[in-house]
Amino acid sequence: MNHILEIDNVSKIYGQVVALRDLSLTVPQGQWLAIMGPSGSGKTTLMNIVGCLDSPTVGQVILDGLNLGVLSHAGLTAIRRESIGLIFQEFHLIPYLTALENVMVAQYYHSLVDENEALEALARVGLRERARHLPKQLSGGEQQRVCVARALINHPKIILADEPTGNLDETNELLVMDILRQLRDQGSTIIVVTHAQEVAAHADRVIVLEHGRLVQDRVGAKERVDNLETASLMAG
């Protein structure tokens, strides 16, 4: 099987705190993976390492056949640009640019701006008509969909979403999940960090972290993950 991501015995230590402890994980191309776990379990750390925003203390990460450990700062930046699409809980749109321009910023840093392509991406998330609006004129759900459009514009191999629905209502949550499913169906690998059962339920595979360790790894959609009721409550 073609693995887009291979994580071998990775640990991440911040001073006294061990955020990830000897974690190993492989993700095949085209899989939708949900990472769950209570606060402080290391979800976001894992996410940052995969997103080339952070590097492991020990261990090795191979992303799309490239060993991240041997790459320079500039190399990591290039991977981020070429292979990864990021979606944040807090959207992080540039406030003074329109939805369209926010999408184009990603094109700009990636290669060439193409307004039509950017418009298409917005159309895919149902925001064709809102393309010329500034972020503050958009609702939270619309802003998150702009983020999704921005993440998919460069056709990344992996889309990383950190609590993408944390600030959304149910309707918008379903809309975003729908778009992610379409992307998965077109072959993108999707990794979503969440503590919400409903979100995780959309995934092909769910892993659960606790205290930096992998405690559950279940393949199979719509399957309930056990022992997480309390954890998700705590995380809320």
Candidate list 101, 142, 163, 210; residue touching other proteins; CB under 8 A:
101
Candidate list 58, 62, 105, 174; residue touching other proteins; CB under 8 A:
105
Does 236 interact with other proteins (rule: CB under 8 A)?
Answer: no
User: Between residues 37 and 203, which has the closer beta carbon with respect to other proteins?
Assistant: 37
SS3 at position 5:
strand
Does 86 interact with other proteins (rule: CB under 8 A)?
Answer: yes
Q: What distance in Å separates the CA atoms of residue 98 and residue 103, rounded to the nearest whole number?
A: 9
Radius of gyration of the chain measured on its C-alpha atoms: 17
Candidate list 5, 63, 104, 180; residue touching other proteins; CB under 8 A:
104
For 159-227, the DSSP string reads: EEEESTTTT--HHHHHHHHHHHHHHHHTT-EEEEE---HHHHTTSSEEEEEETTEEEEEEESTTPPPTT
Kindly write out the interface string for residues 42-61 of this chain, putting x where it contacts other proteins by CB under 8 A and - elsewhere.
--x---x--x-xx-------
The pairing of beta strand 58-63 with beta strand 3-14 = antiparallel
Q: What distance in Å separates the CA atoms of residue 114 and residue 116, rounded to the nearest whole number?
A: 6
Q: Are 35 and 46 in contact (CB under 8 A)?
A: yes
Does 78 interact with other proteins (rule: CB under 8 A)?
Answer: yes
Candidate list 39, 77, 182, 227; residue touching other proteins; CB under 8 A:
77
Candidate list 88, 124, 181, 215; residue touching other proteins; CB under 8 A:
88
SS3 at position 228:
coil
Candidate list 9, 114, 132, 234; residue touching other proteins; CB under 8 A:
114
Q: How many residues bind other proteins (CB under 8 A)?
A: 36
Residue recorded with tokens 């979800």: 43
- E strand or H helix at 117: helix 115-124
Does 167 interact with other proteins (rule: CB under 8 A)?
Answer: yes
Does 66 interact with other proteins (rule: CB under 8 A)?
Answer: no
Does 141 interact with other proteins (rule: CB under 8 A)?
Answer: no
Q: Please give the residue ranges that form the binding site for other proteins (CB under 8 A).
A: 44, 48, 51, 53-54, 74, 77-78, 80-82, 84, 86, 88, 90-92, 94-97, 101, 104-106, 108-110, 112-114, 134, 136, 140, 150, 167
